[in-house]
Structure 1
Amino acid sequence: MGTLASLISALASGEAMAVLRRARMTAILYGLAAILALSGIGFLIGAAYIWLAARYGPLATSLGFGLGFLVLAALIVLIDRLTTGMRARRRARRRKADMTALGVTAALALLPALAKSKGGMALAPVIALVAYAVYRENMGSGPRNPDSGETS
């Protein structure tokens, strides 16, 4: 039995090392591809600059490229600001649902232990009501207006 376990261990270990080697090689290749892609984009931007500088002059082209990149940066920051609020609200809803599920699960897990103890059955309905109240408080009463999608 010990020989079989060592054989399985060696197989799993060798397989894990092979997976790590492939993952490392893939990461290196993707990194190299990203560097080459960024270099290509840089040369394309340089070519566009040379073409536009020949047409409009170097000063106007520099001002245009500078303003264009500043506008792109501002758009990225603006989009991030707008989506950050949405992500925070989504995380809060998920956390609230998780806490509700945890509370209900804890209350339900406690019921069998109470049923076995003396006088525990008298507390079971109280615990069930508390669990239901926690559930209703965290889940709300549903949408007020079906078109708006808001919950109370």
Structure 2
Amino acid sequence: MINFKAFNGTVTTIDDFSIGQNNEAGCYKLIAVENGNGTLVNFVVAPTTYFVDHIMVAVGDKITGFYDANALVPLIYPPQFRALVIAKDTPYQNVKVSFFNSQLESSDGALRLNISSHTKILLENGQAFTGSIANRNLIVTYGATTRSIPAQTTPNKVIVLC
């Protein structure tokens, strides 16, 4: 199971990243992110990395990168994680990437979803998802939450990671 973790900060550089000899130049990127407290992280962005709302990222943007904390990483500084999902920070929009159980509660117990008829439920390719979203890895975009534990929200959009 994927253990989603997030790192938030400002993009400081974007460079091409070579992973082999198979003429893949330009297909992979290395995005350096600094969190404002001096902590740096490099995200390896593959063609399969999902960008929330299909945004274009530029130097100076504030982003959140989500990665698998259980994945193997090289022992280098700054740490280098394979980005699974990247979201550009947007006012009034929060993004959560997690496994949601049968009660639609995130794996860290911090967020519970209340799905409404206005919630868009999509696949990564933008097509409608018609199955159950319970017990799946989800990208959730939402606004306000309750102050309860776990916080509850009615999401604007749910993207199912198949």
TM-score range, shorter chain: under 0.3
Q: TM-score, with normalisation over the residues of structure 1?
A: 0.16
- Identify, as 1 or 2, the structure richer in helix: 1
Highest Rg: 1 or 2?
1
- Identify, as 1 or 2, the structure richer in strand: 2
Greater RCO, 1 or 2 (C-alpha within 8 Å, sep 6+): 2
Q: TM-score, with normalisation over the residues of structure 2?
A: 0.16
